Structure formats: C-alpha cells, structure tokens
C-alpha cells in the first residue's frame, strides 16, 4: 500500500516537472510575448540556472555524505585499535 | 568595460570543423558508421558514447554560436541554447518516473512467500534434528 503511494507520487512529481520544464523551454518561445501565460514562468535564464544549481547542490550533499561515512568508519577502526 | 576572451575566436571554428567531419562520416558510412569510425574491436562502448556525445555537442555548439552562418529564426535560437540542460532534466525526470512506476507496480508474491517460510521451517526442523542448536 505504502509502496504504491510513494511510487505514484514519484511518477506524478516527475511528470509535473517534465511538463512545466518542457513548456518553459520548448513552447514559450513560440508564444507571443504579450500573452498572459508568460506571467507563470520565470525569465529564461533561470531555465538553465536552476537545474545547474540543483545539480551542484546534489553533488555537495553526495560529497558531504561520503565524507561523513568515511570519517565515521575511520573513527570506528581507530577505537577498535 | 569590454573584456575579450581570446579563445572565444577559435571555438566556433573548432566546432564547425568537428561538425563538418561528422557530417562527412555520417554521409559515407551511415548512422552507425559515424558512431564507429574505427573497427568494432578497437572501439569500446565508452568510446562510442563519448564519440556520439562529441558529435552532438559540437553540432549544438556550432549552431548556437552561429559558426555555420545559418540565420535561424529567433524562436528556434531561443529553444536551441538551453537544449543540453533540457535533455539532462528530461533524462532525470524519466529516470525518476521509471523508478516510481516500478516501485508502484512491484507485486507481492504471497504464494512464493508462504512456500519460502514453510521451507525455512522444514530446514530448521531438519537441522535441529541433526543436532544443530539455534
């Protein structure tokens, strides 16, 4: 039960992100700049800046996690000695 | 204040050159030929992927920097320059969605679980009979 909720939640999230991002990058340039829909989207530069920042943040978390695990193991073996 | 990067002058020419070479190999050897300029024995999968990425990357760079001298319409240029970021985000969304779908549709095999439990009980009884202590 819980698995299905989590799974479908992931599918929904990925679908929403994909559709919003596709509209932002692919569809918006072809829509007249006076149209009201442009109000719902940030300036175009953010379409590259936000995923880039998110990717760097992900790398940061992965690096911090690896460092934490390595330090914990090191401390563990030192205590055993 | 105008700051000039000297290397910028050479990037369009370089990507233009790679683009022309790849166009040449594509037209003479077909699509897979472009991915495999060397005999299959010499080119590993990694090399093939890197080569494919280099081709696509150079094509994109040549088109975005206007090195080919093509006057693309403004909306097309607007779509073209964020394209690598778009493809990365789409690939990430696809991966996330696939993982979520597989998690949601993973079936419990109740019969197999019960059978496994009974087999475990059998094995424990058998080993206890032979003298092993748990």
What distance in Å separates the CA atoms of residue B94 and residue A20, rounded to the nearest whole number? 14
Span B44-102, pLDDT tens digits: 899 889 999 999 999 999 988 887 777 888 888 889 999 999 999 999 999 999 999 99
The least confident of A37-51, B33-47, B84-98, B109-123 is B33-47
The verdict on A81 touching B (C-beta cutoff 8 Å) is: no
Residue partners of A49: CB distance under 8 A and separation at least 6: none
Distance from CA of B18 to the nearest CA of A (A): 25
**By the 8 A CB rule, do A29 and A38 touch?**
no
The verdict on A52 touching B (C-beta cutoff 8 Å) is: yes
Span B18-47, pLDDT tens digits: 767 766 665 555 455 555 566 656 788 998
Alpha carbon distances (Å) from B29 to B35, B42, B55, B58: 9, 17, 15, 19
Chain A residues inside the 8 Å CB shell of B85:
25, 47-48, 51-52
Tokens standing for residue A55:
């990717």
The verdict on B78 touching A (C-beta cutoff 8 Å) is: yes
The verdict on B93 touching A (C-beta cutoff 8 Å) is: yes
What distance in Å separates the CA atoms of residue A62 and residue B5, rounded to the nearest whole number? 34
> Quick one: A24 exposed, middle or buried, by C-beta within 10 A (0-12, 13-18, 19+)?
buried
CB contact under 8 A, A11 and B97: yes
Instruction: Kindly state the helix (H) or strand (E) to which residue A53 belongs, with its residue range.
Output: helix A46-80
CB contact under 8 A, A44 and B82: yes
CB contact under 8 A, B86 and A21: yes
Chain B residues inside the 8 Å CB shell of A13:
96, 100
Classified as helix, coil or strand, B42 is: coil
What distance in Å separates the CA atoms of residue A19 and residue A5, rounded to the nearest whole number? 21
CB contact under 8 A, A25 and B86: yes
- Percent helix, strand, coil in chain A (nearest 5)? 85, 0, 15
What is the DSSP annotation of B65-96?
A: TTTT-----HHHHHHHTTHHHHHHHHHHHHHH
Tokens standing for residue A37:
């829909």
Residue partners of B76: CB distance under 8 A and separation at least 6: A29
Question: ipTM value of the model?
Answer: 0.82
Q: B118 or B38: whose pLDDT is higher?
A: B118
Tokens standing for residue B62:
């040549």
Tokens standing for residue B30:
């077909």
């Amino acid at each position: 039960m819980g698995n299905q909720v989590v799974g479908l939640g992931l599918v929904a999230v990925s679908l929403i992100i994909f559709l919003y991002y596709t509209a932002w990058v692919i569809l918006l340039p072809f829509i007249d700049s006076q149209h009201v829909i442009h109000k719902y989207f940030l300036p175009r530069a953010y379409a590259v800046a936000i995923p880039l920042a998110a990717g760097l943040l992900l790398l940061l978390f992965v690096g911090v996690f690896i460092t934490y695990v390595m330090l914990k193991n090191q401390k563990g073996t030192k205590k055993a000695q | 204040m105008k700051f000039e990067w000297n290397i910028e002058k050479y990037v369009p020419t370089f990507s233009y050159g790679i683009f022309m070479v790849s166009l040449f190999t594509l037209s003479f050897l077909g699509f897979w030929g472009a991915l495999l300029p060397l005999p299959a024995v010499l080119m590993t999968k990694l090399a093939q992927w890197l080569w494919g990425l280099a081709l696509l990357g150079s094509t994109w760079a040549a088109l975005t920097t206007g090195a080919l001298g093509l006057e693309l319409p403004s909306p097309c240029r607007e779509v073209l320059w964020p394209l690598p970021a778009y493809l990365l985000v789409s690939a990430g969304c696809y991966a996330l969605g696939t993982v979520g779908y597989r998690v949601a549709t993973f079936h419990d095999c109740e019969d197999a679980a019960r059978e496994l439990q009974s087999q475990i009980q059998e094995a424990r009884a058998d080993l206890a009979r032979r003298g092993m202590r748990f």
